[in-house]
Amino acid sequence: MRREGQIRVVIVDDSPTVRSLVRRLLQRDSACQVVGEAGDGARGVELVTTLHPDVIVMDLDMPVLDGHAAIQQIAQRHPTPVLVLTAHPPADQAASAFEATRCGAVEVLAKPSEPEGWRQLEHTLASMIRALAEARRVPPAKAAAGRAAKKPVVPPLSRQVRFIAVAASTGGPEATLQLLQPLPKPLPAALLLVQHIAAGFEESLASWLAGKLGTDVAVARDGEPAAPGRIRLAPPGAHLLLTADKTMHLDRDTPPRAGHRPSADELFLSCARTFPTVTAGVVLTGMGSDGALGLAELRRCGGLTMAQDQESSVVFGMPRAALESGAVELSLPPAELGELLARYLERSTS
């Protein structure tokens, strides 16, 4: 029976133990209602088309129909946000988890291997489900109409861009790929990325992006030069900072900011302290408000500041906070932001 106002969730995993654990986690949250469970992808697709849930929690490695194929079918039949909950893949299959985001998944989470990990997952999973359900309540037509009414004003193309700082969370891997695909190769700038992601998946994300882009993408190392052509991801447990000598510093001593380490605010603030007038800051889809304060400071110091627009965001939390803080000069879909950045980069090297 449907409970008024609750978020309807379907769990798809071939492990009865995992399904039971996820169900118990969600039952502790009064906002969530588990309306169905399936042990394979094919049955999961059937449940989604008949039960019409608000959110799906799905594994990738399953019998009959794997998670990738199931997500694709759901996207075609009954588009619904999918949170992937999967074990850390072997090194030779690392990028496959993020290929799920190309199929339509909005986030990849790791299955915990110990009880404490499941306790931590409880908050993360419930928060994401709430954010995704809230995002679905905004009519796309209304959001698009709002964008059409405000024609974006493009900052002067004469501005130089030598560094690009990017922040993303929920829905970020696919949005980041769309942002980066239009950029020239070799990239005539250094790009630093803070992506809030489950610890242990950062190498997988770097590998996936490198394969899709055909360029140098890796997890950042302390003291590594922030050189043109390099795309570097912040590792877990460290703030990624740009220094005055054009190197990357991994700060493991500064406490988390608003619960985040790495923090997008810390990245943007470091750019504002060092090379603000030749830095472009971009905030993409994600929960919360990380990045808003730092991006506002970057803009105040002369940086170029952008954010993903509402209708293309999986979750509009981070871009909304940046917009409301007055930090953003331009708000567009990621691919259009990438095309615009490409124009700045071409002018910077001409």
Provide the annotated active-site residues: 169, 196, 290
Residue with token string 């619960």: 259
Question: b/e string for 33-55 if b means 16 or more Cβ within 10 A?
Answer: bbbbbbbbbbbbbebbeeeebbb
On whether the CB atoms of residues 220 and 235 are closer than 8 A, the answer is: yes
Rounded to an integer, what distance in angstroms lies between the CA atom of residue 174 and that of residue 82?
13
Rounded to an integer, what distance in angstroms lies between the CA atom of residue 314 and that of residue 279?
26
Alpha helices in the chain (DSSP H): 16-27, 41-51, 67-77, 96-103, 115-136, 140-149, 172-180, 202-213, 264-274, 292-300, 317-324, 334-349
Q: Write the DSSP symbol of residue 165.
A: E
Rounded to an integer, what distance in angstroms lies between the CA atom of residue 12 and that of residue 138?
26
